[in-house]
Amino acid sequence: MNEQERLQELESYHILDTPPEKELEELTQIASAICGTPISLITFLDDHRQWFKSHIGLPIEETPRSQAFCEYALHCPTEVLVVEDSLNDGRFQHNLLVQEVPHIRFYAGAPLTTPNGGVLGTLCVIDTRPRKITEIQKNALQLLAKKAMTYLHTRKLLLDQARYMEMNAARLKKLTDQAPGVIFQLELSPQGQLSLPFLSEGLSDIFPHLKKEDMQKVPELLFMVMHPEDRAIVYEKFFAASDQLVPIDIEHRALLENGCIAWYLTKAQPEKRADGTLVWYGATQNINAQKKHIQTLERILFDISHILRGPITTLSGLTMVMEMEKEMNEQKLCEFLGHIKSVSEKLNSNTRKLNKTYTQQRESLTLQTSIFPTNNSSTQKTSNN
């Protein structure tokens, strides 16, 4: 592993410049106790410094990388670097950490080696006088270094998982905020307390007069905004469905601030948690356009049955009379043709009127079913219901 790769791996652990952590502090304390040294450290080397995650007996947090003893441990991922007397070692005898405070004479560092074989730093012990280290102590340092890496690797996995979850949560929020209607999570505690842990931004599109913060503070507003004639029915269906945990699918009306009524479709899937909390995952969507579409189809059927059928029936009757007429002369023929013309004109007039009406309704429906409808396009006056 080259230096650039090592630095990238070090960065991936998100350990630099973080506060002390009990688990690592305990390992350095144990290292000092085993080796009988006044100083023990957990160090990491970035591109310009030696930074101490844990520093027992040394009141500083970093030094320039050029002064770092553990620089030499980077190339020995499986061995303990031992310096019994720094003044007799040409690599360190002129080092400022040797010549000045803290006057390092003895150093033993076990590398912090990643599963990929890179060395991030060391777990080391330091003394201000020359000394030797036993094989048992070296083995103990290596075990403590492995323990430190196990902790760091677990910490990294947890941080990566948390970041992944945050990223997915942010992505999901963007998706739900763009979804038509409002997506919600409604909860009822065993004590009967309602809460709305999640409410998408679509609330402002279908209920412009309601604020998300107010709705989450007073979840009962979810039901209070409904038409009085529908409120009890919706409330009953919500809690009846929760007993058997069956999905909710209900159309209902809501009263808007401007005195209008809007039709909505609410769907929700209930579930019950181990602690007895009832949770509904659901969505509410404005269905005024669909309602008006159905009304238009019903109107078309009515028009066909009553407005258009009358002239057609008249024409059919005239045809039968003409077939039954035994003495058809020119005068009678003209009379029949006059009747047929009158009925045809009436049929044509009715057809034109209906075509104009249907064209206007179709244009209105097109506007209402737009991907980004305006708030006012989805309401109808109370008097129309």
What is the per-residue pLDDT across 140-163, written as a single tens digit (0 to 9) for each?
999 999 999 999 999 999 999 999
The most confident of the ranges 209-218, 219-228, 264-273, 292-301 is 264-273
Task: Give CA–CA dist 314/336, Å, rounded.
Answer: 12
- pLDDT at position 118 over 60: yes
- pLDDT at position 39 over 90: yes
Task: Give CA–CA dist 66/96, Å, rounded.
Answer: 10
| 43 C-beta neighbours (distance < 10 Å), count | 25
pLDDT-wise least confident of 2-6, 85-89, 186-190, 314-318: 314-318
Token readout for 168 is 């997915």
pLDDT digits (tens, 9 = 90+) for 60-88: 999 999 999 999 999 889 999 999 999 99
pLDDT, residue 167, reads 87
pLDDT (average), residues 369-384: 42
pLDDT-wise least confident of 131-140, 287-296, 301-310, 340-349: 301-310
* Higher pLDDT pick, 344 / 53: 53
pLDDT, residue 360, reads 64
Strand blocks (E) in the chain:
39-45, 49-56, 62-64, 81-83, 106-113, 119-127, 182-188, 194-199, 248-255, 260-272, 278-286, 380-381
pLDDT, residue 374, reads 39
User: How large a percentage of the chain has pLDDT more than 70?
Assistant: 82
3-class SS of residue 186 = strand
- pLDDT at position 369 over 60: no
Closest CA to 107 of 128, 136, 79, 77: 128
pLDDT (average), residues 292-307: 71
- pLDDT at position 384 over 70: no
- pLDDT at position 101 over 70: yes
Residue 372 pLDDT level (bands cut at 50, 70, 90): very low
pLDDT, residue 383, reads 39
Contact 245, 272 (CB under 8 A): yes
Q: In angstroms, what CA-CA distances link 82 with 70, 105, 193, 282?
A: 10, 11, 64, 64
pLDDT, residue 73, reads 92
3-class SS of residue 96 = helix
User: How large a percentage of the chain has pLDDT more than 90?
Assistant: 42
Per the prediction, the chain carries an average pLDDT of: 84
pLDDT (average), residues 188-212: 81
pLDDT (average), residues 17-42: 97
Contact 103, 128 (CB under 8 A): yes
pLDDT, residue 14, reads 95
Strand blocks (E) in 256-385:
260-272, 278-286, 380-381
* Higher pLDDT pick, 349 / 112: 112
Residue 123 pLDDT level (bands cut at 50, 70, 90): very high
Contact 88, 82 (CB under 8 A): no
Task: Give CA–CA dist 59/97, Å, rounded.
Answer: 13
- pLDDT at position 175 over 90: no
